[in-house]
């Protein structure tokens, strides 16, 4: 039961953060904490799978064109977490069975 509550809270926090990003043209108008950045990275990974890095790169590219420095910074932080998440996942997948 507690795991379901935690999952529901996580989804709600992520959806709120994602709505803020979408509303502000991929930029966050307020400082974002580390947990929100990790939630965004995880959701991007879940939604886009092996295309996640491409999706993030496209977001950053659109923000560069728009001149949105805050958005660029935010999505770069998400990209860093996505890279860490993917490298951790790769290590787990590649680890030999005991």
* Domain span holding position 63: 32-98
CA dist., res. 53 & res. 90, Å (int): 14
Indicate the pTM of the whole model: 0.63
Residue 62 belongs to some domain of the structure? yes
pLDDT along the chain (98 residues), means of 10: 67 64 51 88 93 95 92 94 85 54
Asked whether residue 16 is assigned to any structural domain, the reply reads no
Query: What pLDDT score was predicted for residue 9?
Result: 72
pLDDT score recorded for residue 23: 47
- For residue 64, is it within any domain? yes
Spatial CA neighbour of 42 closest among 23, 61, 18: 18
Q: Which tokens go with 86? A: 């993917």
Residue 7 covered by a domain:
no
* Selection from 87, 82, 75, 13 nearest residue 46 by Cα: 82
Q: Which of 80, 66, 81, 86 shows the shortest CA–CA distance to 26?
A: 66
The answer to whether position 27 is within a domain reads no
């Amino acid at each position: 039961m507690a795991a379901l509550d935690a999952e529901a809270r996580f989804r709600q926090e992520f959806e709120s953060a994602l709505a803020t990003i979408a509303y502000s043209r991929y930029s966050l108008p307020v400082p974002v904490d580390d947990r929100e950045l990790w939630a965004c990275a995880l959701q991007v990974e879940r939604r886009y799978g092996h295309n996640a890095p491409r999706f993030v790169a496209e977001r950053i590219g659109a923000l560069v064109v728009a001149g949105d420095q805050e958005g660029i910074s935010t999505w770069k932080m998400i990209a860093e977490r996505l890279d860490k998440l993917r490298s951790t996942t790769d290590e787990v997948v590649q680890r030999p069975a005991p």
